[in-house]
Amino acid sequence: MVTEISNSREYSPKHLPLRGEITAWGLALVVLITATIVQVNGSQWAVTGLVLAGVFVLSAGSISLGNWMDRHTVIRVDRAGVSFTNGVRHTTLAWDEIQAVRVLPAQWGAQQVQVIG
C-alpha cells in the first residue's frame, strides 16, 4: 500500500515519569554516604560498600541517560523519507533505501517500529 505524504509528521515516544530516576539517584546517594562513613570508621566492609555505591551510581547514570535520550527522540516522516534523532545519533533514510518496516509488540502493550534499510 502506497500513501502520499503531503506534509511532514513528527513522532516521539511517551515520556516516563521521573520517579524511577529520582529514586535511583536517592539510593545511590544514601549508599555512597553510608559507604563513606563506613570507610572513615575503618570497617572491614569499607571496600564492599564503595563497590556497591559505584554500582548504584552507574545504574542511576544509566537510567538518566536513557530518560534523556527518550526526551530527545524524534522520528520525522516526510516526502524525502524517514529521519531519526535521539540526541546521540541521527539517521536519515530515503524512501528507496527502506527495505521493510516492521511493527512488533513491545512491553506493556506498546509497539516497537523497526525500519530496515
Q: What is the DSSP string of 18-82?
A: THHHHHHHHHHHHHHHHHHHHHHHT-TTHHHHHHHHHHHHHHHHHHHHHHHHHHT-EEEE-SSEE
Domain span including residue 82: 73-117
Asked if the structure places residue 56 within a domain, the reply is yes
Considering the domain architecture, whether residues 22 and 59 belong to the same structural domain is answered as yes
**Residue 40 falls in which region: left (phi positive, over 0), alpha (psi -120 to 50) or beta:** alpha
Judged against a pLDDT cut of 60, whether residue 87 lies above it is answered with yes
Asked if the structure places residue 11 within a domain, the reply is no
The pLDDT of residue 29 is 95
Considering the domain architecture, whether residues 29 and 45 belong to the same structural domain is answered as yes
Lowest-confidence pick of 9-13, 20-24, 65-69, 108-112 = 108-112
Say if residues 85 and 22 touch (Cβ distance below 8 Å): no
The pLDDT of residue 3 is 61
Say if residues 35 and 46 touch (Cβ distance below 8 Å): yes
Asked if the structure places residue 7 within a domain, the reply is no
Residue 67 vs residue 44, higher pLDDT: 67
Q: How far apart are CA 94 and CA 8, in angstroms?
A: 14
Lowest-confidence pick of 3-12, 16-25, 29-38 = 3-12
Interval 96-117: pLDDT, tens: 998 988 888 888 877 888 888 8
Number of domains into which the chain is organized: 2
Asked if the structure places residue 103 within a domain, the reply is yes
Considering the domain architecture, whether residues 60 and 99 belong to the same structural domain is answered as no
Terminal alpha carbon distance of the chain: 18
Asked if the structure places residue 39 within a domain, the reply is yes
Mean pLDDT (the chain, rounded): 87
Q: Please give the distance of CA 22 from its chain centroid, rounded to a whole number.
A: 15
Considering the domain architecture, whether residues 55 and 85 belong to the same structural domain is answered as no
pTM here is 0.73
